[in-house]
Chain A
Amino acid sequence: MKRIAFYFRLYIKLVTAYVKTRMQYRFDFFMSSVGMLIYYSASIASLWVLMTNMPSLAGWSFTELIFIYSFSLMAQIPLQICFEHIWSLRMHVRQGTFIKYYFRPIDSLFYYLSELIDMKGLGQIPFSIALFAWSSHALGVAWTPAVIALLILLLFGSAAVISSLMLIAASTAFWVTDSFSVISFVNGIRDHTRYPMDIYNTAFKFVFTWLIPMGFVAFYPAQFFLRPNAVDWTAFASPVIGIALFIVARLVWKKGMESWGGTGS
């Protein structure tokens, strides 16, 4: 417990110091945030255009699909903002600069991640919450304190799932020269989490549920809110799966550090 409090306080200090140094890059922050918003808007606009031709997609209305999409965006907020440094891992490993992360008496993954906060991801917070609020209101979802608590728990689980997957993909840098394709691949998965799992046949539903756990990031948890009467255990599984994946991710990171040890630098 004391250790968690220590890390929490340390993280606040590290992040505050970092953010202060980014204050001078206002133009970059603005342009990058605009870029992000255009990217999301293109996705939403495509869906909207498509839906002008039909009332529903695989049984889901436009608003319901936006609900799922915004859920997935919210789940990816921690990944976007706090895990951004994983994209540089392959560079630090290749150039040998990663070695400094062996030498501080704090968790190496924590230390590595704390070095970079993605400022442009901050825009994702109001954007996704607004989108979520709009769609849930349009759908008439009833927000009681218990439901909100469950939402937070499910979001936490979904965040853990997608963050862990990206972390594992990035960690391949410890072994493989070109891990960029691996992390790009998993990054592509992030976009696909907004589609309803109903569109897939049995085989691929299995693949995208259990092999590449896309479904647990947004679709399955969203079922609780969209189809409360037809919900099964998969709606509540994301926290458990998220924690399991995170444990795996930490193990992979640890093994990666043991394996690399500054070689190839």
Chain B
Amino acid sequence: MKKTESLIKFENVKKHFRVLNRREGLGGAFLDLFSRNYRFVNAVDGISLDIGRGEIVGFLGPNGAGKSTAIKMMTGVLHPTSGTVSVNGVNPLRDRVRFVRGIGVVFGQRTQLWWELPVRESFRLIKEIYGISDEAYRRNLAQFEELVNLKELYPQQVRSLSLGQRMLCDIVASFLHDPAIIFLDEPTIGLDVAVKSQIRTLLRSLNAEKKTTILLTTHDIGDVEALCRRIIMIDKGHVIYDGETERFNRLFGSYRTVRLLCREGEGNAMAALLPQACAAFDGAKIDMSRADTHWYDITIDQDKANLSETLAWALNTLPVKDVKIEEISTESVIEKVYSGALK
């Protein structure tokens, strides 16, 4: 596949912070008045990446991994301690006002629209601020109206919208000035399934239409599976995975999860016997978290333990009423990667 032009480029970027150590207790607080001591935190410790035009990339990682720090460097909010950052071909910090025209930013938790104004007014102000031409404005709004039921939202104050409606308006607003890149920070957090689906469809359509590069920070697997062809995973300030989502799932492709439905009334027996699987089969992991639905999981790596043997053992030893065999879920993959399975 031909390499498309580089829209977001990091070259060995590092970001260190100086953090104040607060002392404990009343006496400590008193001491703090007179002398401070600091420690250094390496939020981002050598990240390199290269994202091209039109890509939708999922940005994953545990909290505190350095994701938001990296995004802040991409959007011109923070300057790197070392390394080069190039977005839309320029250094984001060079001329903030000019740079910001070429990007859009959407936060899941906070709106960038004017709280007490009707949606339509917010859009008009954005038009004014970005200097969007009348025809581009009309064209874009028409396009958005086709994808989302915007018309009924126009006269409503932003503060009176539901979270889902507000997110849709924020996303639409970020596309108004036709930026080359849009950064989304947890856009579907706290939303119900119907709205999530609407948002994902909206983003897919706009990406297909306008070839806007989308960088999506999320903890929601559904977002990743619906939207992202590529995932970049960050942990402890490093990139631990950068590649296609499909290949990511196949990283642990040898893994299988055996799902067992427990016979009625035998939950205690199941809970007592199930852990023996770990001793019996090398590397087996058990999961009793959905015990109240009577389903119990054993996950094995077929490279280490035999699937038919595991199945046979389970059916013989445990009070099983029904069984399902599944490939490992993206969620479990991510969990594994977070806990260092890629090392």
Contact = CB atoms under 8 A, between A and B. Distances in A.
B97 interface: yes
Main secondary structure of the interface of A (DSSP, over half): helix
A106 B125 contact: no
Interface stretch (B73-81, B148-156, B229-237): B73-81
Which of under 10, 10 to 19, 20 to 34, or 35 or more describes the interface residues of B? 20 to 34
B117 A13 contact: no
B129 A104 contact: yes
Interface residues of A, number: 21
Most central of A14, A97, A102, A105 by chain B CB within 10 Å = A105
B209 interface: no
Contacts of A17: 114, 117, 121, 125
Contact of B78 (A104, A106, A107, A262): A262
Interface string B41-53: 0000000000000
B313 interface: no
A148 to B, nearest CB: 34
Given A13-B125, A262-B78, A103 B72 contact: no
Interface string B195-232: 00000000000000000000000000000000000000
A105 B130 contact: yes
Nearest to B93: A258
Given A21-B117, A97-B110, A105 B129 contact: yes
Please indicate which of the listed interface residues A10, A258, A261 has the most CB atoms of chain B within 10 Å of its own CB.
A261
Contacts of B101: 105
A18 B115 CA distance: 10
A105 B97 contact: yes
Most chain A CB within a 10 A radius of its CB, from B75, B77, B79, B114 = B77
B116 A106 contact: no
Interface of A: 9-10, 13-14, 17-18, 21, 97, 99-100, 102-108, 258, 261-263
12 contacts: A9-B128, A21-B116, A100-B105, A102-B77, A104-B100, A104-B129, A105-B97, A105-B98, A106-B97, A107-B97, A261-B79, A262-B77
Given A17-B117, A106-B97, A263-B78, 15 more contacts: A10-B129, A17-B114, A18-B116, A21-B116, A21-B117, A97-B110, A99-B77, A99-B107, A100-B107, A102-B77, A104-B129, A105-B101, A108-B96, A262-B68, A262-B77
